[in-house]
Structure 1
Amino acid sequence: MLPVNRMKPQSRASSSWSPSGVDLADSRRKPHFLWRTIFTALLIIGCILVLKHSSGHRVTTAFSQHEHGVTHVLVTGGAGYIGSHAALRLLEDKYRVTIVDNLSRGNIGAVKVLQDLFPEPGRLQFILADLGDAKAVNKIFSENAFDAVMHFAAVAYVGESTLEPLRYYHNITSNTLVVLEAMAAHRVNKLIYSSTCATYGEPEKMPITEETPQHPINPYGRAKKMAEDMIIDYSKKPGMAVMILRYFNVIGSDPEGRLGEAPRPELREHGRISGACFDAALGIIPGLKVRGSDYETADKTCVRDYIDVTDLVDAHVKALHHAKSGNVGIYNVGTGKGRSVKEFVEACKKATRAEIKVEYLSRRAGDYAMVYSDPSKIKKDLNWSAKYTDVEQSLATAWRWQKSHPNGYRL
């Protein structure tokens, strides 16, 4: 006889039977199961959308596509002193501008001024990024349709470079390589490089021409020259249009008072002499400390070629306009006239109408006695020449901005 499977009767207390023949416990679980199913489906859809986006399905914007008649310029370091003035000029000239800056030296306040002046869609965008991050830089190039790069981003204090040389080689030379690699990968073939007269060092003859041998005497100048060398080598690639501008000591600010120079307080010691003069005039520091009074110059202080930032920016925009495929243009950007530090200090006193105490100290490492330009080549090729050549007037313009912005862009 086959074994009989005897089932133990269920007690009524534990029974969930219903007249419809449906287990009530199952019935209660169904809504929960339905919501879990819906949630899972939504999650899968979300994942698909993310995957599509990461594989190239991006939202199209004015910045991500080329537009006939509009030149889209990437301005590296566009939150800094010179870069922000360049971005302003480009925007006024109807260029489309993307600023990339890590704000280590730049000011978000300058970007905000530009955004308020040009709020229209497709005119200006700001991207917070470090050019030392190759992955981030490549992403920026992949998501934007750049027609040209104006490369300002750099730490730029001679004295600081002698104290932190590796930082300068990384920030200037290595970061420029990252930019060049991104340009190559995304076929951006026009570069305006903001270089420096520091690549010349201390030449035997004055004025400095573009043919003057380059023998930089400080890490800042050497890092810039290395970057120039890389750019010149890479420019041999077919289709490249390159302009290298070696400019001299920058002063001044936007004549309409919209932008100015606002270095971080901890960097004042390394900054430009104009900033130190203004700090002394404002009483932020007790007086002006001049490094070196034993140079072989007429009054024993350094001689420099002071170029107004408005003129400098004009030279960059003209270089962009004249950049030609298969050509490398190298130009000095200066006034062609040298002025001593003593002369500069006197001009600053007149511009600020302040009594400035001056203390002369020993020379600063990496400095040179005399440097001024011969700007005849840029005059001939680009029809550019400095217009704001009155140092006192340039300082007076910058002083007006300083007085109205005693805390920089932090009003």
Structure 2
Amino acid sequence: MKILVTGGAGYIGSHVVKQLLEFTKHEIIILDNLSTGRESTLETLKSIRDFTFIKLDLKEFHEVEKILQINDIETIIHFAASIIVPESVENPAKYYMNNTVNTTNLIKCASENGVKNFIFSSTAAVYGEPKPEIQNSKFKINESYATKPINPYGWSKLMSERVLQDTAKAGGKMKYVILRYFNVAGADIHYKQYTINQNQSTVLKPRIGQSTPNATHLIKIASECAAGKRDKMYIFGDDYLTEDGTCIRDYIHVDDLADAHIRAIAYLQKNPSDIFNCGYGRGYSVKEVIDVMKNVTGIEFEVEVSGRREGDPAVLVSDNKKIKSSMNWQPKYDNLEIICKSAYEWEKTAK
């Protein structure tokens, strides 16, 4: 099968490509404008197995169409997007253009050029903020929960979901899987063996990880602090209606999320289109995550409490029963210490 991966040089896309190269024989084409993706990531992936790379921005509509016309693409896995919530509040037009408009054209081209399967990288931000009376770590959002985003990022993704659903229904030939990510973190689980004084030692050495500049994700920022790349970090609000006053999120290791994409490809061979949450079904507060990062690294770093950020819901925890039962998805790294440790080990060597 020939698979097109948009944004395949980026954080999540590269981990999916890594598993495609390691565990499948599919022919892979990566399309990326390298605005946040890295050439060094592509070089690392090349060391696993060869693939085709095309440097292109999805806003180049005619070029995107040409790629689909001349390649017999059976499956598209679409990651390319802007993903920073505060930025989406400040510059909503950027998010609607890059996320919704570009995705709409890609979906249109896919439908018109015989693409059978479309796997879409979506987000739990489409759910917005749960009702106050149910905002606690025990409440879990399932796929039927009402979608009502509270920021332009969430809306841009939800609109793209609708375009994909309506286009697939109208054409009748293309199927889709929409994966709604909760908070993705961590880096490539890869161990390297060393021999020191005739003794073998196995050390976690991620080959790829999150290299996004000016990242806003909590575990990424905490790992940068532990690695000495930031002087301090901020907690945005400690007055939420949670046990310790800070926001609660469901964190999923990027390799487990990548596995969900591989399973989605197989799922679409025999099953109809559907939507799935991707998370572990448990929540951790901002303070808990920071404490775990300090514990696994043994490094104390400065943390300062600041005001709330606009567009941040208090609690977002997934109900993941559906993806587990439908795809037989069994997470391997459902452990906050492993997530933090892998993120930190990547950050120590990342440039």
* Contact 2:119–2:176 (CA under 8 A) maintained in structure 1: yes
Per-residue Cα deviation, 1:333-356 (whole angstroms, up to 9, x for no partner): 110001100000011111222111
| 2:236 equivalent to 1:291 | yes
Separation (CA, whole Å) in 2 of partners of 1:173 and 1:343: 34
- What residue is the counterpart of 1:244 in the other structure? 178
- What residue is the counterpart of 2:330 in the other structure? 385
* Contact 1:105–1:155 (CA under 8 A) maintained in structure 2: no
Deviation at 1:193, TM superposition (A): 0.5
* Contact 1:305–1:338 (CA under 8 A) maintained in structure 2: yes
| 2:120 equivalent to 1:193 | yes
Name the CA shift for 1:324/1:118 in 2 (closer, same or farther; >3 Å).
closer
Equivalent residue in structure 2 for 1:153, among 80, 83, 98: 80
Per-residue Cα deviation, 1:7-37 (whole angstroms, up to 9, x for no partner): xxxxxxxxxxxxxxxxxxxxxxxxxxxxxxx
Unaligned segments of structure 2, at least 5 residues:
191-205
| 2:7 equivalent to 1:77 | yes
What's the TM-score, normalizing by structure 2? 0.91
Separation (CA, whole Å) in 2 of partners of 1:178 and 1:133: 10
Deviation at 1:404, TM superposition (A): 2.2
Per-residue Cα deviation, 1:158-193 (whole angstroms, up to 9, x for no partner): 111111110000111001111112112211121011
Separation (CA, whole Å) in 2 of partners of 1:222 and 1:201: 9
Separation (CA, whole Å) in 2 of partners of 1:188 and 1:295: 45
- What residue is the counterpart of 2:248 in the other structure? 303
Deviation at 1:131, TM superposition (A): 0.5
Letter in 1 for 2:99: I
* Contact 1:281–1:355 (CA under 8 A) maintained in structure 2: yes
| 2:150 equivalent to 1:217 | yes
Deviation at 1:386, TM superposition (A): 2.3
Q: What SS does the corresponding residue of 1:223 show, helix, strand or coil?
A: helix
- What residue is the counterpart of 2:34 in the other structure? 103
Unaligned segments of structure 1, at least 5 residues:
1-70
- What residue is the counterpart of 1:144 in the other structure? 71
Q: What SS does the corresponding residue of 1:169 show, helix, strand or coil?
A: helix
Letter in 2 for 1:379: K
Separation (CA, whole Å) in 1 of partners of 2:259 and 2:229: 32
Separation (CA, whole Å) in 2 of partners of 1:253 and 1:279: 13
- What residue is the counterpart of 2:159 in the other structure? 226
Equivalent residue in structure 2 for 1:113, among 21, 44, 58: 44
Separation (CA, whole Å) in 2 of partners of 1:335 and 1:89: 20
Separation (CA, whole Å) in 1 of partners of 2:255 and 2:270: 27
| 2:275 equivalent to 1:348 | no
Q: What RMSD, in angstroms, separates the aligned Cα atoms of the two structures?
A: 1.2
* Contact 1:238–1:326 (CA under 8 A) maintained in structure 2: no
1:3-152 equivalence runs, <5 A: 71-92=1-22, 93-119=24-50, 124-152=51-79
Name the CA shift for 1:324/1:94 in 2 (closer, same or farther; >3 Å).
closer
Deviation at 1:117, TM superposition (A): 2.1
Separation (CA, whole Å) in 2 of partners of 1:226 and 1:73: 24
Per-residue Cα deviation, 1:378-408 (whole angstroms, up to 9, x for no partner): 1111111322111111111221122122x1x
Deviation at 1:326, TM superposition (A): 8.0
Q: What SS does the corresponding residue of 1:117 show, helix, strand or coil?
A: coil
* Contact 2:226–2:344 (CA under 8 A) maintained in structure 1: no
* Contact 1:323–1:329 (CA under 8 A) maintained in structure 2: no
Deviation at 1:145, TM superposition (A): 1.5
- What residue is the counterpart of 1:282 in the other structure? 227
Equivalent residue in structure 1 for 2:315, among 364, 370, 385: 370
Separation (CA, whole Å) in 2 of partners of 1:247 and 1:193: 10
Deviation at 1:364, TM superposition (A): 0.4
Q: What SS does the corresponding residue of 2:144 show, helix, strand or coil?
A: coil
Q: What SS does the corresponding residue of 1:327 show, helix, strand or coil?
A: coil
Separation (CA, whole Å) in 2 of partners of 1:402 and 1:301: 25
Higher relative CO (CA 8 A, sep ≥ 6), structure 1 or 2?
A: 2
Deviation at 1:260, TM superposition (A): 0.9
Q: What SS does the corresponding residue of 2:119 show, helix, strand or coil?
A: strand
